[in-house]
Amino acid sequence: MKVLVCISVVPDTTTKIGFVENNTQFNTAGVQYILNPYDELAVTRGLELAEANAGTVTIVHVGKSDSEAVIRKALSMGANEAIRIDAEPTDAQFVAAEIAKIANGYDLILTGRESIDYNSGAVCGLLGALLGIPSVNVVTKIDYNNGTFSFDRDIDGGRETVSCAAPVVASAQKDLCEPRIPNMRGIMAARTKPLQILTPQTTANFSASKSYELPAAKTGVKMIDPENAAQLIDILRNESKVI
């Protein structure tokens, strides 16, 4: 089984988000970067499936050289090799177009449900359409038997089980597995695993980020006496009119 896992590199979840250059650029000062948490699940489940089916896992990332530490982390989890497409990932459509160029010949392609920075959640579906293969998003379970994958996926107000033959692309949702923590042997081995650097083959011409905004700050909390907590319902009904 050949598995391709697409990863993105995102600010750590504790990052306080801010912008510079007149709110046109993300303020990267002091930001720690991590493997996108959903992609970590995709890497882990990809490895488990490949290990159980005499397969290999290839990591692909669209980004500049500063993301190599995170790519090495995915390799230290157990992936066999990695590809970095050397370009600034401007939007999901550019990323998917670039990955589609190298994604033929895999049985299973995995992404995270979405990156926790730009939250498009689109690469899985885009790859499906660009490669002409089925796509299954927000999966919480992946099993494989004799050429057929079976998935549990979240749906609005529940969960469903679907199946389809390889090749297929799916996006990892929480519940899929527990993320694998690299061990010392994995970390040592990752240093010498192949990391291929490719130049981009497409142009980014779908969208352009113009500026950023932060949510409006709350103007101040109004405290309610706990002894008189019932008053809350009155306020919500008659003052803020939300119930």
Partner 1 sequence: MKNILVFAESADNSFKKSTQEAISYAREIAETTGGTVTAMVVGSAEASHLGNFGAHRVISVDYSGAFTSDAFSTIITEVAKSVQADLLVISNTYSGKSVAPRVAASLDASLATNVISLPNNSPGFWVKRGVFSGKAFAWVELTKACKVLSITPNSFEIKQWGGNAPVSNQTVNSTTLITVEQVNKVTGKIALTEAEVVISGGRGLKGPENWGMIEELADALGAATACSKPVSDMGWRPHSEHVGQTGITIKPNLYIAVGISGAIQHLAGVSSSKVIVAINKDPEAPFFKAADYGIVGDAFEVLPRIIAAAKN
133 near partner 1, judged by CB under 8 A: yes
Of 209, 207, 232, nearest to 222 (Cα)? Answer: 232
Exactly one of 52, 69, 165, 188 binds partner 1 (CB under 8 A); that residue is 165
| Residue with Cβ nearer partner 1 (130 or 198) | 130
- Give the shortest CB-179-to-partner 1 separation in angstroms: 11
CB nearer to partner 1: pick between 65 and 231: 231
Of residues 38-67, which lie at the interface with partner 1 (CB under 8 A)? Answer: 38
Residue 87 binds partner 1, judged by CB under 8 A: no
Residue 227: partners with Cβ closer than 8 Å, 6 or more residues away: none
Cα-trace Rg, the chain: 21
Query: Which string of DSSP letters, residue by residue, matches 101-153?
Result: TT-TT-SEEEEES--TTT----HHHHHHHHHT--EEEEEEEEEEETTEEEEEE
Does residue number 213 form part of the binding site for partner 1 (CB under 8 A)?
A: yes
92-100 and 123-131 helices, crossing angle to 10° = 40
| Binder among 81, 117, 180, 195 for partner 1 (CB under 8 A) | 117
Using CB under 8 A, pick the residue from 134, 182, 186, 200 that binds partner 1: 134
Q: Which of 2, 56, 118, 202 binds partner 1 (CB under 8 A)?
A: 118
The binder of partner 1 chosen from 31, 102, 187, 235 (CB under 8 A): 235
Does the protein bind partner 1 through residue 215 (CB under 8 A)? yes
Residues in the chain: 243
Of positions 65, 104, 119, 203, contacts partner 1 by CB under 8 A? 119
Q: Where are the alpha helices (DSSP H) in 138-204?
A: 184-190
